[in-house]
């Protein structure tokens, strides 16, 4: 009896060359069809600037006087949250004022929000990069498409594709028509950088401090514009110990900034028209070489008026990106 080894039978069980060619062609077609979807998930849509900041208010009437009269923003309905009110500085930038929750922390900011050209595409990109705590894409009554996320320190961050621009009436007297940056308390630069720089592509702009060999402020511009976010550093390496952060200090750290072409003219207008907040300071020269002044809303959130361009050499670091001009 002749014995046939199993190994000798293997070649007869392999696919024919024609079968291999057909299978390879089929797999190649699948790969080509899948490429647009893979590319869409992996390409980050443009993030172009600041959309808005959300703040909590304990007294709606007092907040209305501050944002509507003192800062001169145009009041409008809030299509994202029926309990809120928007105060527009321009057709697409605003502060969203929300009722202070019954249970709340010291912080009076609810969110920071950035503008994108494609909210659904950005959501897909972040989802493909395994971003945690990513909310669903939603559409507001005015056509705005947006979603929520959280940065590594748990702060609520929104990404907004604008709907119909809000018409700012001629009667409105905004002290400035552009929000140029937002800032809030940060403990860990390394953790925040993974979100803003590594994931989203923000670019370094400037850093500084009150004292040598410290770092108090770190600014990064949005990837596709000139607005920026400012880390307000606390703890190791900064001049602000964590245990010194009370409600008043947190209101200084958590802020948004309105750009003005000329600080003297802006502040003179506020004084002449009796548009002073009970708490304000400046004008003063910032460490970044720009004139600035601070107004505070009734709950202590700081609003920083800032000239677009520096007028003297900044301390600590040079600007590594172009400053906005308007």
3-state secondary structure the chain: CCCCCHHHHHHHHCCCHHHHHHHHHHHHHHHHHHHHHHHHHHCCCCEEEEEEEEEEECCHHHHHHHHHHHCCCEEEECCCCCCCEEEEEECCEEEEEEECCCCCCCCCEEEEEEEECCHHHHHHHHHHCCCCCCCCCEECCCCCEEEEEECCCCCEEEEEECCCCCCCCCCCCCCCCEEEEEEEEECCHHHHHHHHHHHCCCEEEEEECCCCCCCCEEEEECCCCCCEEEEEECCCCCCCCHHHCCHHHHHHHCEEEEEECCHHHHHHHHHHCCCCCCCEEEEEECCCCCEEEEEECCCCCEEEEEECCCCCCCCCCCCCCCCCCC
Q: d(Cα 205, Cα 183) in Å, to the nearest integer?
A: 14
Cross-strand partners of 232: 185, 217
Q: d(Cα 294, Cα 63) in Å, to the nearest integer?
A: 16
Q: d(Cα 287, Cα 317) in Å, to the nearest integer?
A: 10
pTM: 0.85
Q: Which residues lie below 8 Å from residue 305, measured CB to CB, with a gap of 6+?
A: 175, 176, 257, 258, 260, 263, 266, 267, 282, 283, 292, 293, 294, 295
Alpha-carbon 135 to chain mean position? 16
Tokens matching residue 105: 């922390």
Query: pLDDT digits over 95-136, tens only?
Result: 999 999 988 878 899 999 999 999 999 999 999 999 988 999
What is the chain's mean pLDDT, rounded? 88
In the prediction, which pLDDT does 6 show? 36
Query: pLDDT digits over 193-244, tens only?
Result: 999 999 999 999 999 999 988 999 999 999 999 999 999 999 999 999 999 9
Report all structural domains of the chain as residue ranges with CATH numbers, in order of start.
47-164+175-307 (3.10.180.10)
In terms of C-beta density within 10 A (0-12 exposed, 13-18 middle, 19 or more buried), how is residue 214 classed? middle
Rg of the chain taking only CA atoms, in angstroms: 26
Q: What is the mean pLDDT of each run of 10 residues along the chain (326 residues)?
A: 41 48 49 44 89 96 97 94 94 95 86 97 96 94 94 96 86 95 97 97 95 94 98 95 93 97 97 94 95 96 97 93 90
């Amino acid at each position: 009896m002749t014995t046939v080894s199993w190994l000798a039978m293997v070649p007869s069980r392999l696919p024919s060359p024609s079968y291999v060619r057909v299978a390879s062609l089929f797999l190649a077609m699948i790969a080509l069809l899948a490429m647009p979807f893979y590319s869409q998930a992996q390409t980050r849509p443009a993030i172009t600037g600041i959309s808005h900041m959300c703040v909590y208010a304990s007294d709606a009437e007092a907040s209305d006087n501050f944002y509507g009269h003192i800062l001169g923003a145009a009041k409008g309905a809030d299509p994202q949250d029926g309990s809120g009110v928007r105060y527009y500085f321009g057709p697409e930038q605003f502060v969203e004022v929300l009722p202070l929750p019954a249970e709340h922390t010291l912080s009076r900011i609810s969110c920071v929000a950035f503008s994108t050209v494609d909210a659904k595409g950005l959501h897909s990109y972040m989802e493909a990069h395994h971003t945690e705590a990513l909310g669903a894409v939603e559409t507001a009554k005015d056509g705005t498409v947006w979603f929520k996320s959280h940065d590594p320190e748990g702060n609520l961050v929104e990404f907004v594709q604008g709907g119909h621009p809000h018409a700012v009436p001629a009667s409105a007297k905004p002290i400035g028509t552009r929000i140029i940056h937002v800032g809030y308390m940060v403990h860990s630069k390394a953790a925040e950088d993974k979100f803003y720089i590594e994931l989203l592509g923000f670019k370094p702009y400037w850093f500084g401090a009150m004292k040598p060999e410290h770092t108090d402020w770190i600014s990064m511009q949005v990837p596709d514009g000139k607005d920026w976010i400012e880390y307000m550093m606390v703890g190791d390496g900064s001049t602000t110990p964590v245990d010194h952060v009370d409600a008043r200090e947190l209101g200084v750290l958590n802020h948004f900034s309105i750009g003005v072409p000329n600080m003297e003219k802006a502040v003179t207008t506020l004084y002449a028209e009796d548009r002073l907040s009970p708490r304000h300071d400046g004008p003063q020269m910032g460490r970044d070489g720009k004139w600035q002044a601070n107004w505070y809303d009734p709950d202590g959130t700081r609003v920083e008026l800032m000239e677009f361009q520096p007028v003297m050499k900044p301390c600590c670091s040079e600007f590594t990106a172009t400053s906005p001009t308007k």
